[in-house]
């Protein structure tokens, strides 16, 4: 039986660039679901109204992106494991009359890192740049995968320390460093992950670092597909990846939460790559 018509969308601000509608609408068509995915630019002051709107209109759910991932937690009826662990939600699901918050960034990154990039963090060292919801998701994913040591670098040392604590609670070694120490640290670890928006507009990041063939670098920025950080790391022999892979993995997990059906990953991936390529 084909489920009835339904709708979902993405809540963010300013939400100038989002690939989610393209990725999900292709997936709905592929599985012949009568669903549509919309774009909802919502300023922070109106987030409460937007969530009430989801309830009133009985949306099947929503994705949540910057800057709402933490703020929305208070507005939901319930949150699940990973979302609760890191205090950030990227997927909302309507269950009966309740709005339930999930976080698919954690599992999405883990699947991408091991399955697509072929890197096993077990016992290895990692540097995570940033201290927002994305950085927390990455640290949680790495500790779930048994990483040996995580260092978090951010402009605000207190924020970096808060994110690093997520790793410390599981027995992994953790540290927080200032932004100025990141380039040196990046040259020494097994894995570097950029969980900041830097690179979206062509900004260089870790330009003083030297990478080598044993290292893996993942930049969560998905547009442009190859940021200055990715280009630099590749040119120095490291295995370097942009953010499209994780974008698809977390989108597929959201899709499965809403629809209860297996996500058509190949179709979603092709749509994302095509859209991002045309954009540049």
Q: In the 3-class helix/strand/coil scheme, how is 114-137 assigned residue by residue?
A: HHHCCCCCECCEEEEECCCHHHHH
116 and 132 within one domain:
yes
Q: Please check whether residue 66 lies inside any domain of the structure.
A: yes
53 and 37 within one domain:
yes
Please name which of 58, 57, 50, 55 lies closest in space to residue 10, comparing C-alpha atoms: 50
Q: What is the pLDDT along the chain (280 residues), one digit of tens a residue?
A: 355 789 999 999 999 889 999 999 999 999 999 999 999 999 999 999 999 999 999 999 999 998 999 999 999 999 999 999 999 999 999 999 999 999 999 999 999 999 999 999 999 999 999 999 899 999 999 999 999 999 999 999 999 999 999 987 777 899 999 999 999 999 999 999 999 999 999 999 999 999 999 999 999 999 888 999 999 999 999 999 999 999 999 999 999 999 999 999 999 999 999 998 887 6
Beta strands 91-95 and 98-102 are antiparallel
274 and 179 within one domain:
no
Residue of 2, 69, 70, 173 marked active site: 69
Please name which of 173, 169, 114, 174 lies closest in space to residue 145, comparing C-alpha atoms: 114
Both tokens assigned to 7: 């709708």
Q: Please check whether residue 161 lies inside any domain of the structure.
A: yes
User: What's the CATH number where 169 sits?
Assistant: 3.40.50.720
- Give me the phi and psi of 127, to 5 degrees please: -115, 125
Q: Please check whether residue 224 lies inside any domain of the structure.
A: yes
User: What's the CATH number where 58 sits?
Assistant: 3.40.50.10860
227 and 118 within one domain:
yes
143 and 116 within one domain:
yes
Phi and psi based region of residue 244 (left: phi greater than 0; alpha: psi -120 to 50; beta: remaining): alpha
110 and 89 within one domain:
no
88 and 64 within one domain:
yes
Please name which of 189, 182, 137, 131 lies closest in space to residue 160, comparing C-alpha atoms: 131
Q: Please check whether residue 89 lies inside any domain of the structure.
A: yes
**DSSP codes joined into one string, 17-55:** ---HHHHHHHHHHHTT--EEEEEEE--GGGHHHHHHHHH
The parent domain of residue 170 ranges over: 106-242
231 and 118 within one domain:
yes
Task: Please say if 69 is a catalytic residue.
Answer: yes
Q: Please check whether residue 1 lies inside any domain of the structure.
A: no
Q: What is the number of structural domains in the chain?
A: 2
């Amino acid at each position: 039986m084909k489920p009835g018509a339904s709708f979902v969308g993405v809540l963010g601000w300013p939400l100038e660039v989002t690939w989610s509608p393209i990725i999900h609408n292709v997936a709905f068509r592929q599985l012949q679901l009568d669903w549509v995915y919309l774009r909802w630019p919502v300023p922070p002051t109106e987030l409460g109204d937007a969530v009430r709107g989801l309830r009133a209109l009985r949306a099947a759910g929503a994705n949540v992106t910057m800057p709402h991932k933490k703020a929305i937690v208070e507005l939901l009826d319930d949150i699940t494991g990973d979302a609760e662990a890191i205090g950030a939600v990227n997927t909302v699901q309507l269950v009966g009359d309740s709005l339930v918050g999930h976080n698919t960034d954690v599992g999405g990154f883990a699947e991408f890192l091991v399955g697509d990039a072929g890197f096993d963090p077990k016992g290895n060292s990692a540097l995570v740049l940033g201290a927002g919801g994305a950085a927390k998701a990455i640290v949680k994913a790495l500790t779930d995968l048994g990483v040996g040591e995580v260092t978090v670098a951010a402009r605000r040392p207190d924020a970096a320390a808060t994110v690093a604590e997520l790793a410390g609670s599981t027995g992994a070694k953790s540290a927080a460093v200032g932004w100025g120490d990141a380039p040196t640290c990046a040259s020494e670890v097994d894995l570097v992950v950029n969980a900041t928006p830097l690179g979206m507009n062509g900004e260089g990041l870790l330009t003083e670092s030297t990478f080598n063939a044993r290292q893996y670098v993942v930049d969560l920025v998905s547009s442009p597909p190859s940021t200055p950080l990715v280009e630099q790391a590749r040119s120095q022999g490291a295995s370097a990846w942009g953010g499209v892979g994780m974008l698809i993995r977390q989108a597929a997990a959201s899709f499965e939460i809403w629809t209860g059906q297996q996500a058509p990953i190949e179709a979603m991936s092709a749509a994302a790559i095509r859209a991002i390529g045309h954009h540049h």
